Amino acid sequence: MLLEPDIKNQLDQYLQLMENEILIKVSAGSDTNSQDMLVLVNEIASMSPKIKVEETVLPRTPSFSINKVNEDTGVTFAGIPLGHEFTSLVLALLQVSGRAPKLEQEVIDRIKDLKGEYHFETYVSLSCNNCPEVVQALNLMSILNPNISHTMIDGGTFKEEVESKDIMAVPSTYLNGEFIFSGRMTLEEILAKIGSNPDSSKLNDKDVFDVLVIGGGPAGASAAIYTARKGLHTAIVAERFGGQVLDTMSIENFISVKHTEGPKLAASLEEHVKSYNIDIIKPYKAKSLRKNEFIEIELENDALLKSKSVIIATGARPRKVGVPGEEEFRNKGVAYCPHCDGPLFEGKNVAVIGGGNAGIEAAIDLAGIVNHVTVLEFLPELKADAILQEILYKLPNVTVLKNVQTQKITGTSKVDGISYIERDTGALKHIPLEGVFVQIGLIPNTDWLEETLTLNKLKEIVVDKNGSTNIPGVFAAGDCTDSPYKQIVISMGSGATAALSAFDYLIRN
Ligand SMILES: Cc1cc2nc3c(=O)[nH]c(=O)nc-3n(C[C@H](O)[C@H](O)[C@H](O)COP(=O)(O)OP(=O)(O)OC[C@H]3O[C@@H](n4cnc5c(N)ncnc54)[C@H](O)[C@@H]3O)c2cc1C
């Protein structure tokens, strides 16, 4: 038995929702992984009379495909989709059986209209919380369009393939044998990547909004819900709904919820926003703001939206070290997500740049997987909380270098080391290693506002206690502002403040 009793109970309830019979075709050998996969598939099949299993030979062993009875869907799992991929497996079972996906009709139509052959392969690690979104999106595309197929490949089971392709970041997706993208992507972003964009001509025809929120993270979602509840005509423009929460593994300080996972919280945020009459305009990026008769927001696709008030909630992104080698070896040894990419460095030597909470948490996590971790901190002391430092210093395979400046990430086709300068002696040192995890904080997404809004020296939007910026009618909230602390509850609170201030502004003007 591979499934824990409580998981099996939950699965049992999901399988009741299956609509039609499905056929799982398994390609198994005599190796342990194949045998484990067979145990899992047979265990699932024993739970529903709608699931039939037959043996076959697929390009990879162990693997299995999930099909309609008389039609192959192209959805294949190579390896055993447990861990974060178990949800992808459950969704595939339900959707292949005919259960309708939660997707706007416009997106479904765009998928069905795709012409040509698209054979996707996605390499994942089972501990990667960015991978399921890509796997689930591509599986759904395969189910909806017979010209599309998708295979999820567990890097842990197919190590040789991962090494021969030099894959050092997950998810890494290939289309018709060629690398196409790496990292978390929404279904809409994947469609845009292969050239299917929504009809943006209609955006220019939208009425003037009362409130236009830019950003779909905790701050933007909270702001939109508050203004919609005041009866204001509200829209959200978001490049990636959920924001940084999507990249968070475990959240334990979202008050009243003891524990949750980022993607789960992001999905609840979107569901809550969708329960109001809020126009969600995604995935679009704002590129400029100006004030004429109304406040005008221009999008990267040149569409122009107009609103009586605007709330900026564009959050932040990981800060780069800015040294030679960082861009060149991105996804070839330089990584920003330890939870996702850590397993690819199993048994190897890595560095973590940054001695704050994020860096030290990453070093502790990685120490359990890799051979050795070197932490490089620019300042003479680590900035992480004492409790984290205590755990770190007890680990046998971690070296901490303080007061050092990263000078270069070296390599040829992938990372082979890191060079740094000891700041007190000026000596240049080099450590051979295979991975560099950058964890040096965040940079606000405000580049597009530099000409119009007052920013501080950290490029954060300067706001007052009402969330007002220097332009009347333009408010800001969350991590893109000069708020001293960047947390989910704080962002949601400041989103609510900005929303109530926008309401106040509108009734006075
Ligand atoms: C790894 C990690 C772990 C964390 N763990 C925790 C935790 O445990 N607890 C906690 O409280 N906080 C945690 N945080 C911090 C928390 O995630 C942030 O404080 C919070 O998400 C900020 O919300 P926000 O809405 O201001 O911005 P974001 O979450 O950054 O959202 C910004 C939104 O704006 C969109 N956007 C950006 N630019 C544009 C543009 N030009 N046009 C249109 N849309 C745009 C983005 O796509 C996104 O939708 C963590 C952060 C990280 C990175």
End-to-end alpha carbon distance in the chain? 66
- Owning domain of residue 176: 5-193
What spacing in Å lies between the alpha carbon of 336 and ligand 1's midpoint? 15
User: Across all residues in the chain, what is the average pLDDT?
Assistant: 94
What spacing in Å lies between the alpha carbon of 246 and ligand 1's midpoint? 8
Same domain, 120 and 261: no
CATH number at residue 154: 3.40.30.80
**Which strands form 172-175's sheet, in the order they lie side by side?**
51-55, 22-27, 63-68, 71-78, 148-154, 118-124, 172-175, 178-182
pLDDT digits (tens, 9 = 90+) for 322-345: 999 999 998 889 998 887 788 889
The percentage of the chain sitting over the pLDDT mark of 70, rounded to a whole number, equals 100
Give residue 201's pLDDT: 79
Q: Does pLDDT of 500 surpass 90?
A: yes
Q: Does pLDDT of 1 surpass 70?
A: no
Q: Please count the other Cβ atoms lying within 10 Å of the Cβ belonging to residue 3.
A: 18
Higher pLDDT, 252 or 288: 288
Q: Single out the residue in 391, 409, 438 at which a domain terminates.
A: 438
Segment holding 90, helix H or strand E: helix 86-96
pLDDT digits (tens, 9 = 90+) for 400-434: 999 999 999 999 989 999 999 999 999 999 999 99
Same domain, 240 and 342: no
Give residue 251's pLDDT: 83
Give residue 5's pLDDT: 87
For residue 216, give the ligand 1 atom closest to its CA.
49
Radius of gyration of the chain (CA): 24
Q: Domain tally for the chain?
A: 3
Q: Which residue has the tokens 């969708």?
A: 274
Distance of CA 192 to the CA centre of its chain: 17
Helices within 276-385 (DSSP H only): 338-341, 357-367
Give residue 247's pLDDT: 77
At 137, is the pLDDT very low, low, confident or very high (cuts 50, 70, 90)? Answer: very high
Same domain, 54 and 177: yes
Q: Does pLDDT of 224 surpass 90?
A: yes
**Mean pLDDT to the nearest integer, 13-29:** 97
At 197, is the pLDDT very low, low, confident or very high (cuts 50, 70, 90)? Answer: confident
Instruction: For residue 241, tell me if it sits in a domain.
Output: yes
CATH number at residue 493: 3.50.50.60
pLDDT digits (tens, 9 = 90+) for 105-119: 989 999 999 999 999
Q: Does pLDDT of 249 surpass 90?
A: no
Closest-CA residue, ligand 1 atom 13, reads 487
For residue 252, give the ligand 1 atom closest to its CA.
8
Range 142-165 burial, b when 16+ CB lie within 10 A, else e: bbbbeebbbbbbbbbbbeeebeee
Q: Single out the residue in 390, 417, 438 at which a domain terminates.
A: 438
Same domain, 415 and 492: no
Same domain, 468 and 344: no
The percentage of the chain sitting over the pLDDT mark of 90, rounded to a whole number, equals 84
Most confident of 4-8, 82-86, 317-321, 393-397: 393-397
Same domain, 136 and 244: no
Same domain, 428 and 447: no
For residue 237, give the ligand 1 atom closest to its CA.
43
| Tokens at 102, concatenated | 């939660």
Q: Which residue has the tokens 């809020």?
A: 278
